Amino acid sequence: MQGGKIVRLAAALLSAMPVFAWAAPGTSYAINPVALKSQSVLVVDADSGEILAAKNADAVVAVASLTKLMTALVVLDAGQDLEEELQITREDLDTYKRTPSRLPFGARVRRGDLLLLALMASENRAALALSRHYPGGREAFVAQMNATATHLGMTNTRFTDAAGLSASNRSTARDLRLLLDAANAQPLIQEYSTRPSHTLRVGKQRLRFISSNRLVRGARWDIELQKTGYTNEAGRCLVMQATVEGRRLAMIFLNSVGKLTRYGDAARVRQGLASAERSVAHRVKASLPGTSSAPVESTAAP
């Protein structure tokens, strides 16, 4: 019993630590991973490659709709005509989770619009239609997804469908960093994944879709590329590349419990980095001749 109290006390003390701790004073920072609530985390400086935080980064887990980044890569790598109209049929029904869709059967939609909806609104029927209209059909599409993963060095990744509905779509935070890099090299994926909303005309209807990422719909973030994901098996997931305090960060948060935890982790990284930058400025100022050398307290991010 006493041992259990000690463990709980240690966990509470660790979680109360600042998000950022000094790794090498005046040069770089290491994020306290305990302060981040997602089960698997990887935060990397996209330019230098410096790993700022890693927690269970090699754990193989379900990745839900993060899968759609690979779906987009396969469609674009194949050079398929984005202006071609594809018909939505009952073959595009989600048979895994029975998730609803606003794209009616019989609708004809541009491939480019389906790609946009898959990335921006995480539209499952759009992703399934894209895979069905690939040369060789869905089997060939999934095979190419896995071949691309192998080519990128994603050694612990496996895909079984284009939407990420099956729990068999599995990867790691470290592998997803490689996918994020590859997707970020595609300007169209950047544009589509960060579009706040899109209105699509289907027959006589005008359907408005919005981003599945609440941060995209706000004005406080400078996001280059993003994708959300959710299934019961995967939990809430988020991958994002964004500029924070002048640094381009690749952030991967997997298996977050609760609707806001993944966004809260992104905010904790941003607030912690801002706090660390202020601390650097204070330390530099304190080291100058004629200034006080009193230590500056670090501030924990909320």
Cite the active site residues.
65, 68, 122
Greatest Cα pair distance, the chain, in angstroms, is 76
Interhelix angle 67-77/137-152, rounded to 10 degrees, is: 100
Listing DSSP states for 257-283 in one string gives: SSTTHHHHHHHHHHHHHHHHHHHHHHH
61-62 and 108-110 strand pairing:
unpaired
In the chain, the amino acid numbered 84 is E
248-264 residues labelled b (16+ CB within 10 A) or e (exposed): bbbbbbbbbeeeebbbb
Q: Which of 138, 149, 155, 1 is nearest to 69 (CA)?
A: 149
Q: At 42, which helix (H) or strand (E)?
A: strand 40-45
Distance CA 255, CA 234 (A): 5
* CA-angle at 131, arms to 198 and 78, nearest 5°: 90
3-class DSSP state for residue 145? helix
In the chain, the amino acid numbered 193 is S
